[in-house]
Structure 1
Amino acid sequence: MPMIDVYAATDLFPSDSDRRLGEELTLAVLRAEGVEKPGPLHLNNTAAYIHRMQASAVQTAASASAKTVRVQVITPPGVLNRDGQKQLVKEITEIVTKISGDPSQASRTWVLLTEAAEGGWGIAGTAFGKEEFAALAAKAAAAK
């Protein structure tokens, strides 16, 4: 299950937009992974962490309160192919721009796609690799 971290100045998004941002980003990641109909396993375990920081905590050489956004998506090994990567970066940028309400935000939105190492992904005391993810998917399919 992917993990999503959004780092932005407190005033970049409307104060009541965290839920919308988290939900839209989650669904974009799952689409990029090829999950057409997310079930409870996907929806309950794909988490979005919205890190709102003081404006002065976001710096560039040009500004002491930059309006840049960093979205990092961490996925299990091998779940995003090249088309999925392109799709995801495009969708995340569109979502951030739309929710920020600033059409110029796209040029200040960084998307980092990070793939966890084989076995470097864990929940419930289990380090997941391809074998464990395959078993989990088979279990979920059998439960349908």
Structure 2
Amino acid sequence: MPMIDVYAAPGRFADPSGLARTLAATLMEVEGVPPIALFRENTAAFVHEVVVSDVDGSDDHVRVQVLTNAGALDRDKQLAAVRRLADVVAEVAGDPSLTERTWVLLTETYDGGWGIAGHANTNAEIVALAREQLAP
């Protein structure tokens, strides 16, 4: 159930809402979670238009910050997430070379630090919530 923040120069994306939806869906796919309400309603992306500049004055970089609950991404999923999210950014921007200028930062909260509906959930509690929704 990651939260995704995208930081880019104003106007970088013609359809920021489409980018947000695609990034959220892509990360759910990488995580391998079932498409139940718990995950669909709590996986989201936020697109921020900000001032961007590298040392040379270029504003053609994008930063994608992903926050997950503890242990959500093993090494294979980390590699897949970084590649696929950078590819989505480039595709939505219509600039294939943007993959090379997209930084994806993966971070985790501690166990018990994932708040949903006013409750700080442990990983075990998140799993229990998911099982409830999966039960017939």
The answer, yes or no, to whether TM exceeds 0.5 is yes
1:48 aligns with 2:58: no
- Are 2:6 and 2:63, in contact at CA under 8 Å, matched by a contact in 1? yes
Unmatched tracts of structure 1, length 5 or more: none
- Structure 2 distance, partners of 1:45, 1:133, is 11
Alignment partner of 1:8 is 2:8? yes
Kindly provide the amino acid, as one letter, of the partner of residue 62 in structure 2.
Answer: V
SS at match of 1:4: strand
Please, which of 13, 21, 24 is the counterpart of residue 23 of structure 1?
A: 21
1:112 Cα offset (Å) = 0.5
Aligned position for 1:62: 56
CA distance in 1, matches of 2:114, 2:123: 10
Alpha-carbon offset, residue 103 of structure 1 = 1.9
Equivalenced residues, count: 136
SS of the residue aligned with 1:45? Answer: coil
Letter of the 2:53 partner, please give it: Q
SS of 2:41's partner is helix
In structure 2, the gaps of 5 or more residues are: none
Partner of 2:104: 111
CA distance in 2, matches of 1:123, 1:39: 15
* CA deviation map 1:97-125 (0-9, x unaligned): 11111122111100001111111111222
- Give the secondary-structure state (helix, strand or coil) at the position aligned to 2:107: strand
What is the CA-CA distance between 1:126 and the residue it aligns to?
1.1
Q: C-alpha displacement at 1:44, in angstroms?
A: 1.4
Counterpart among 26, 30, 33 of residue 32 in structure 1: 30
1:19 CA drift (Å): 2.0
CA root-mean-square deviation: 1.3
Task: Please say if residues 38 and 130 of structure 2, whose CA atoms lie closer than 8 Å, have aligned partners that are also in contact.
Answer: no
Shift of 1:128: 1.0
Instruction: Give me the TM-score of the superposition, normalised by structure 1.
Output: 0.88
Which digits, 9 at most, give the CA deviation of each residue in 1:23-67, with x for residues without a partner?
1101111111112x41222111111111012xxx1121111x511
Percentage of identical aligned residues: 46
Amino acid of the residue matched to residue 67 of structure 1? Answer: D
Residue type of the partner of 2:16? D
Q: TM-score, normalised to structure 2's length? A: 0.93
